[in-house]
Amino acid sequence: MRRRPLFIQLFYSYIPVIGIGLFILVILINQITKDFYYDHVKKDLHDRAKLTSKIISQNPELISSAQELAKSAGSIANMRVTIIDQDGVVVGDSNREPGQMDNHKNRPEILEALNEGVGSSQRFSKTLNQEMMYLAIPMEFEDNKWT
């Protein structure tokens, strides 16, 4: 019987090693891409939230019409905007009526924003029925802090 060439023998023995290596490489590239994407989205949300906060903070009379403000800001920024008061009550939202929404005081991004200045979380939205990234920043009006 004829013996197989050395190249063929080595080729068949290295296929599993190459396959495992490629599998690990794909997982690493996927994770790096995902992290890059989430960091980019988080920075974009932060920039938009800061801009919205600055406009509102410089024009406190706008907060009296928080619902219209949230809808307008959400439309301009092409994102969902929710304005809550210092007690966690939703006073404006770009997608829903505030009266239909739960208190937001104990949401992770709100707690983090009140403690650290900026808060973010990634979780499932019951309202939109999908995975979402949330970012919150506080706005100050005289003695009150809103997010």
- Tell me what the mean pLDDT of segment 1-9 comes to: 80
E-strand spans in 97-138? Answer: 119-125, 130-136
Checking if the pLDDT of 55 tops 80, the result is: no
Query: pTM for the complete prediction?
Result: 0.72
> What share of the chain has pLDDT > 70, as a percent?
94
The answer to whether 94 and 75 have CB atoms below 8 angstroms apart is: yes
Dump pLDDT digits (tens) for 57-96.
777 777 678 888 888 888 887 888 898 988 899 999 998 8
**DSSP helix/strand/coil, 45:** helix
Domains of the chain: 6-146 (3.30.450.20)
Two structure tokens written together for 107: 């949401």
Q: Please, what sign has the CA dihedral across residues 94, 99, 100, 104?
A: positive
Q: At what angle do helices 6-58 and 66-77 cross, to 10 degrees?
A: 140
